[in-house]
Amino acid sequence: MNLESWISKNKKLLAILLLALIIFFIFNQIWPMSVGYLTATQGLQAEFHSLYTNGKWLSNTEKPSSFTIQDRTLSASTASNWFFGYELNFDPDEPDDGFPNLVATQQPIAVDMEVGPKHYDPWTVDKGLVTLPNGTKAQKIIQFEMWRYQCEWSINIELSGSKAEACDRRWDYGIAWEPNYGGVDIWIRLEPRAFVYFEDNPDEVYFAPAYIAVTDYVVASIDENGKMTIDDPEIKKEIDLIPKAKGETLGIYYERGGLTPVDMEEKVLTYKGIELDPEIFRDEYWIHISLLNFKPRNTVDFWTKVHNCWFPSVQLDFKVYVLVVGKWTVYLTTEEVEELQPHEPVVIESNPWKWLSNWWNNPMTQIWMLLFMGFIALVLIAVFAPGVLTAITAWMFRKKD
């Protein structure tokens, strides 16, 4: 059987193989460019984990049948909003009466690129002579290096709701009761995210918060019509929280509800010369914000009895120091130590064709070239083997019995 007759009998198979080959090369170039991570950043991730009020914890997994805010007894089973996580949305009663929603949002903890990291002197730990899997005796050395990065972090804490949730009215249209979140603590969990997905990364990398201080504090009020007033002096009288003054710091705790904060930087530096204790670099750390007074502002006109209200909104900006420790493990044996060779300098030569190389390596150029090659392939088939295209068309548009 000659080649021409074999091609004639296998037109459909050849058409399918050709199309598969073209699709493979195109997707092999395009598909990797669309692959990425949703949250693939290293560092600290903050989560509004829980509230603490009058001896009770409230969280996604802690939903008590009764708890109190101020002097009001409430229940998780009748709460209209109960969401804890990257943001907080909490309404312990009816959606349009009683307490307004307590809402907290944030931006990610991000490195301040204008401030360079502080580098500490590295230290090593000699683990002595060990036996490798291949039976070789080697000296095990663990090396640690630490940096301190300055980061920025901002959070918003506000109340939102209906006009009826701003206060309860008396029979004579005065104000009988105002919902106040004073006495509630917002506990935030800081979770280190230590991905190691680069070839030159250390064996292990650790992240820990070392210092969190307020750099700015902005108060705004929002009326029942949605109008916002920045730096409203009247709403400032209705709210108070810790921290809020510039320079005030948040205590960092090992456990939720902890009483004694930890000086992380001092803790780590005491371990210079010995291996890090896992009790220092943990899976989570805790901070909290105390709401001392946090309620809407209300006024009632003496003559018309018209009720007006404003809900508070607070933005806190923080400076955050994050400690980053890399751990390298090195095995030294006499056989594995290479003799030091002279360093060969790199000679940089001018390349007049660099623009062509850059053009060719551009992913969009490669995509267009692949499409062009596919078009050329189809033209060649149409000229030299038209039966293949006929077979493709017949196969694609054949009628099913």
DSSP state of 348: P
DSSP state of 32: G
CB 270 within 8 A of CB 172: no
The pLDDT assigned to 344 comes to 52
* Helical segments of 247-346, H only: 264-269
Residues of the chain with pLDDT under 70: 1-42, 194-202, 271-274, 333-368, 377-401
Residues 6+ apart with CB under 8 A from 51: 57, 58, 59, 90, 102, 184, 185, 186, 187
Domain boundaries, the chain: 3-35+354-396, 43-332
Beta bridge partners of 340: none
pLDDT digits (tens, 9 = 90+) for 294-346: 999 998 888 888 889 999 999 999 999 998 888 888 777 645 444 445 555 54
The pLDDT assigned to 219 comes to 93
d(CA 208, CA 146): 11
The pLDDT assigned to 361 comes to 64
d(CA 178, CA 72): 11
Only one residue has tokens 């730096």, namely: 231
The pLDDT assigned to 384 comes to 62
* Burial (Cβ within 10 Å: 0-12, 13-18, ≥19) of residue 67: buried
Closest-CA residue to 213 (of 242, 181, 186, 236): 242
Residues 6+ apart with CB under 8 A from 304: none
One-letter amino acid of 338: E
The pLDDT assigned to 34 comes to 31
The pLDDT assigned to 84 comes to 96
Closest-CA residue to 318 (of 244, 239, 223): 244
Residues 6+ apart with CB under 8 A from 374: 22, 25, 26
d(CA 224, CA 336): 74
pTM, whole model, 2 decimals? 0.71
The CA-atom distances, in angstroms, between 56 and each of 65, 68, 294 are 11, 8, 19
The pLDDT assigned to 157 comes to 96
The pLDDT assigned to 175 comes to 84
Phi-psi region of 266 (alpha: psi -120 to 50; beta: other; left: phi over 0): alpha
The pLDDT assigned to 36 comes to 30
> Do β-strands 118-119 and 137-160 pair in parallel, antiparallel, or remain unpaired?
antiparallel
Beta bridge partners of 126: 141
